[in-house]
Chain A
Amino acid sequence: MPKVTFIRPNGETTVVDGADGTSIMQTAVSAGITEVVAECGGTLACATCHVYVHDGPIDALPEASGDEEEMLDFTACPREPTSRLSCQLPLSPQTDGLVVRVPPEQY
C-alpha cells in the first residue's frame, strides 16, 4: 500500500497507508485530514483540495491537465511551483513515500 505523508498546517505530520488507484484527496479525507476540504468531492470543480507536493517520487505523478493548471491560479493559499489539486493525484506503487504539504486555507 503506497504511503503518503501529509505535513499539516500546524506542522504535525500524518502518515497514511493509501490504496492504489485512489487519489491523494480521497486518502486525506478518509484519514480525517480535514484541511483537505474537497468540497466538490473530487470532480475538478472547486480547487479546495490544494496541496504542495513536497518530497518523494514526485515524477511518478501525472502532469497537471490544462484545466487543473488553470484552476491552480485560484487556490486560497498562494500558488507555488509545487501546487497541485490532490483529487488529480492517483496513488500507485510508484508513488510510495510521497510527502505533501497541506496549506492552511482552502477557501
Chain B
Amino acid sequence: MSNRTVVVAGAGQAGSQAAASLRDEGFQGRIVLVGAERHAPYQRPPLSKGYLTGKVPPERLALRPPSFYDNIDVELRLGTPVTSIDVDARSVGLGSGDRLEYHDLVLALGARNRGLPIDGADLDGVLTLRSLADAEEVRRRLPAASSVVVIGGGFIGLEIAATAVGLGIATTVFEIAEQLMARVLSPGTASFLVEAHRRRGMRIDLGTSAATMTGTHGQVRAVWTLDGRSVPADLVLVGIGAVPNTEVAAEAGLLVDNGIVTDPHLRTSDPHVWAIGDCASFPCAYADGRQMRLESVQNAVAQARAVAAALAGRAEHFRAVPWFWSDQADLKIQIAGLPTGRDTVVMYGEAEQERFSAFCFAGDRLVGVESVNRPADHLAARRLLELGIPLRPVDLTRPGFDLRALASGRSAPVAPTS
C-alpha cells in the first residue's frame, strides 16, 4: 500500500536498517527515520576501539553514504528525539515540536549507559562511552592520560582498556563480580581473558568496584575502591551496563518490563507499534522462549529485517541465532548462541596459542560457542545452531573430528555412539 506511513523512532543500527529493509521489501509508502543525535546513522562498534586510536577515521563510521537515504526516499529527521506517542491517534511528537502521523511505528530507541551514583562521579575526566559525541571526548583526552581506570569489566570497558594499554597508558579495570562477564561467558573463557589481558599489561581487579572518586580543582585524580584502596586516575571510564530507553513507550501505555515488551513478531502491546534492537524485550528462541533483551549489532539488524518483512506481510517468528563480537587488543572474541542452561563446556583448539573455542552444552544439546581468534569456528557454530545440526560433548573429543566439515555439510552428521 503506497499511502501508508511508517515512522521509525531511533536512527541507530536498528532504525536505519529497518528503513532500508522496508524498501528492500518493496514498501512504497512514506518512511520517516527520526533520530535524537545530529549525526546520520553510524556504526557504534568502532567507537570503543579503532576510532579511539585514529585507525577508523570519522568518515568511515557512516553506516551508509549520505546520499543513500535520499536515493531510497527515506526522510531523515535528525537531532530531534521522539518525545511522545499517541497510540490512539497514531501519531508521535518530536522534540522539535512537530507531530508525525503513522500507520505503523517502529521503536528503535536503543539504550543508554547506566550511571554510577557515587561521590565524585561528576568530576571532570569521568566519562562514559556510547555515542559518537562520547567517543570524541574520550579520543580527545586519551592521548594525554597517564592513568586510566575503567569501572566495569564488560565488552565495552575491556575494549577501551585494551586500547589504552595499547597506547602505553597504565590501565586498571574494576569488575565488581568475581568473574568477567559472568552472565555471558563461561568461567574458563572469562579467566582466559583476565590472564590474556594481564599478560599485555592491563591490571584487572575482580570482586571490587569504585566507592568514591576524588580530585583537585574539579578534575578526577583518584578512584577509591570498596575495600579502601586508591588508584590514581586522570581519566575514568564508567562501563557498567545499559538501560533500555523505554520511557516514551511506557508513557504511551505500552507494556514495558526491562525493555519494550514484544510478541514473537516483535509487535508491542499495541498492534501498530513494533520494537527492535536494544530497547526491545522479545521472547527469545535461544533462551527457551523467555523474554530477553539483547544489545548487539546482530540483534539490531536481524530484528529490523524481521519487522520490515512483517510490515510487508511476511511475518515470521523471530528466531535468529544471537551472536556477539568484541575485539580487544589482538584478541577477537566471538560468541554464538546464549548460555541458556549451560552445564558442560568443552575446549577445542589451543588456549596457550590464544586460539580456541569453548563449546557450551546443556546436557547433550549445544547452546553456545565462545571463540577466541577462531572466526571460522564461530561461523561453524552459528551454522550448527541455526540448522540444529546435532553435536554432543563427546563428539568434539573424537580423533579426526572436523568441525568445519560438519557445519558446512561436507561430512555426514555425527555418527551415533552405541
Contact = CB atoms under 8 A, between A and B. Distances in A.
A26 B332 CA distance: 20
B376 A67 contact: yes
Nearest to B68: A32
Contact of B408 (A29, A44, A74): A74
B46 A73 contact: no
B180 interface: no
B67 A32 contact: yes
26 contacts: A29-B64, A30-B60, A30-B62, A30-B65, A39-B297, A39-B301, A40-B45, A40-B325, A41-B43, A41-B45, A43-B45, A44-B375, A45-B332, A45-B334, A45-B378, A46-B325, A47-B379, A70-B376, A70-B404, A71-B375, A71-B376, A73-B380, A73-B404, A73-B407, A74-B376, A74-B383
B164 interface: no
B20 interface: yes
B216 interface: no
Given A32-B65, A41-B43, A73-B404, 7 more contacts: A39-B298, A41-B45, A45-B325, A45-B332, A73-B410, A74-B383, A74-B407
B380 A74 contact: yes
B234 interface: no
Contacts of B68: 32, 34
A31 interface: yes
Nearest to B333: A45
Contacts of A71: 375-376, 379
Interface in B357-391: 375-376, 378-380, 382-383
B383 A31 contact: no
B278 interface: no
Interface residues of A, number: 19
Interface of A: 26, 29-32, 34, 39-41, 43-47, 67, 70-71, 73-74
A31 B382 CA distance: 29
Contacts of B60: 26, 30
A82 to B, nearest CB: 18
B175 interface: no
B96 to A, nearest CB: 28
Interface string B43-63: 101100000000000001011
A26 B67 CA distance: 16
Contacts of B410: 73
B327 interface: yes
Contacts of B404: 70, 73
A90 B408 CA distance: 28
Interface string B295-328: 0011001000000000000000000000001010
B71 interface: yes
A73 B64 contact: no
A85 B63 CA distance: 18
Most buried by B among A26, A29, A44, A45: A45
Contacts of A32: 64-65, 67-68, 71
Contacts of B407: 73-74
Given A26-B60, A32-B64, A74-B408, A43 B327 contact: yes
A41 B375 contact: no
Nearest to B69: A32
A43 B331 CA distance: 11
B332 A44 contact: yes
Interface in B225-251: none
Interface string B24-44: 100000000000000000010
B46 A31 contact: no
